[in-house]
Amino acid sequence: MHKVSFLIIFIILLTPSFSAGAALHLTPAEIIAAINEYRAENGLYPLETESLLTSAAQGQSDYQASIQSLTHTGPGGSTANGRATAAGYGQSQTIFVEEIIYSGTTATATSAMNWWKASPEHNGIMLSPEYHQIGAGQASGGGSTYFTVVVGRIPGVTSALPLRTESPATEEPTEVEQPTESSEAATAISESAGVQTEATGEEQAASPSETSRETSAGEGLNIPSWVIVLAVVVVLVLLVGGVVLLKKEAETEEDEEELLDDGAEIVATPRSKPELTKPFSELSHAEHFILLEHVAEKALASYDLSIVSVKPLQYRLNASFVVEALPGSDPSYDAQAYLLRVNSPAAHSQDEIRSEMQWLQAIREDTDLKVPQPLENKRGELVTSVGLPNMAKPRYCVALHWQEGKALYEEFSPPKCCSA
């Protein structure tokens, strides 16, 4: 490990331009560009960057970083709509706002988009035709970077940007100008709205300035060409060697990430799992999900179910698992689908979660609305508490009968709601 650390330091010293210019974390502009590119791939207009939504998003990212936890609830219990209103969005008019969040220690535009695309709810927000504007924020805390994206629409005020349906024409060469801060933002929007995008606006804007810095730094220095070639060869050799040395350490983490991305089935029979003995706060996001599988399995043992399989659904603040099980121990029953939710202690108390389940029960009994039916454990309780030695607080788990449905925006869009 000391050899690897020395190698990394040596590479950084030899290549200051790489270490200084490399973007280890994506920026809000990159996230907005990635979302607009995704919308363009699906035939949708781009979302216009809005400074007030950006202010609301940045405030929520700062708050999440301060508490080191993913949450849609802001300071004082604020909501996404309330934060956008407080930032001045809509100026007291009716507004429609949605928010998506993401965190990671080595976040990239690809990893963020993959998480959101894998969630029907978040994917629906990114591809919703109901919104016209977007803002994004970024903040770091506890070794993780927190990203918040807010999309919005003001009825009668905002409108969709035009689609770019024409093929890009061949442009005549023009003189390259030094980009300004406003041109970087415009490049991010226009490039992401088109069909062909090879890099984010920020990366493209950085290229001319980097070239300028390298040219000015070399003025007055008479460095032989063979020295430059030798330095490049040495750096390449060291980079290849570093990749080989680090490959073995990365294999375990990559396997865990592939397990999460692929949604691999977790069979409820004994299987090999890494023993995670470190405190929960010191584990990676992938290790969190593995440890929460242990919690899910312990919780399911408290229900009168014969488990067939458990599949991970998503893990943001809470962790959700799709469970296939036989009700009771009678094999003549058909397997049914259930949802097990492992709640984060940072979100709600046990009493609040129990109240939520009682509320769902009351809706099913007193109305014709189709909502998930909570499942009581063997003790007749709606909430099951599960603790592990390396968790500071127990996790409160609930099980519900699986309720088929579709994304809300497909049938209950804001315009239809307001016109009713």
pLDDT of residue 20: 34
Tracing tokens 């415009």 back to the chain, one arrives at 186
Going by C-alpha positions, the residue among 6, 7, 8, 53 that lies closest to residue 28 is: 53
Mapping DSSP onto H, E and C, the string for 243-307 reads: HHHHHHHHHHHHHHHHHHHHCCCEECCCCCCCCCCCCHHHCCHHHHHHHHHHHHHHHHCCCCEEE
pTM as predicted: 0.38
Looking at the DSSP bridge assignments, the partners of residue 150 are 99, 135
Q: What's the rounded Cα separation, in Å, for the pair 83 and 86?
A: 5
pLDDT of residue 22: 35
Q: Which two tokens stand for residue 272?
A: 């090999």
Arithmetic mean of pLDDT, 270-293: 72
Main-chain phi, psi angles of 135, to 5 degrees: -145, 155
pLDDT of residue 223: 57
Note whether 81 and 95 are within 8 A (CB).
Answer: yes
pLDDT band with cut points at 50, 70 and 90 for residue 25: low
Most confident of 213-222, 284-293, 359-368: 359-368
Q: What's the rounded Cα separation, in Å, for the pair 23 and 199?
A: 13
pLDDT of 96 strictly over 50: yes
How far CA 411 is from CA of 78, 121, 377, 414, in Å, comes to 27, 14, 34, 10
Going by C-alpha positions, the residue among 340, 326, 336 that lies closest to residue 295 is: 340
Note whether 132 and 161 are within 8 A (CB).
Answer: yes
Report percent pLDDT > 90 for the chain. Answer: 34
For residue range 106-123, what is the model confidence (pLDDT) as tens digits? Answer: 777 778 888 899 998 899
Going by C-alpha positions, the residue among 375, 355, 371, 352 that lies closest to residue 363 is: 371
Report percent pLDDT > 70 for the chain. Answer: 66
pLDDT of residue 111: 81
Looking at the DSSP bridge assignments, the partners of residue 327 are 305
The rounded Cα 266 to chain-centroid distance in angstroms is 23
* Alpha carbons within 13 A on the beta-carbon side of 34: 20
Q: Which two tokens stand for residue 76?
A: 């004082």
Among 21-30, 250-259, 355-364, the least confident range: 250-259
pLDDT of residue 362: 94
pLDDT of residue 271: 42
pLDDT of 79 strictly over 70: yes
Note whether 309 and 340 are within 8 A (CB).
Answer: no
How far CA 333 is from CA of 22, 105, 328, 329, 374, in Å, comes to 58, 45, 8, 9, 20
pLDDT band with cut points at 50, 70 and 90 for residue 413: low
Instruction: Give the number of other Cβ atoms within 10 Å of residue 323's Cβ.
Output: 26
Q: Which two tokens stand for residue 397?
A: 């788990």
Most confident of 19-28, 113-122, 206-215: 113-122
- Give the full edge-to-edge strand order of the sheet including 133-141: 48-49, 133-141, 144-153, 96-104
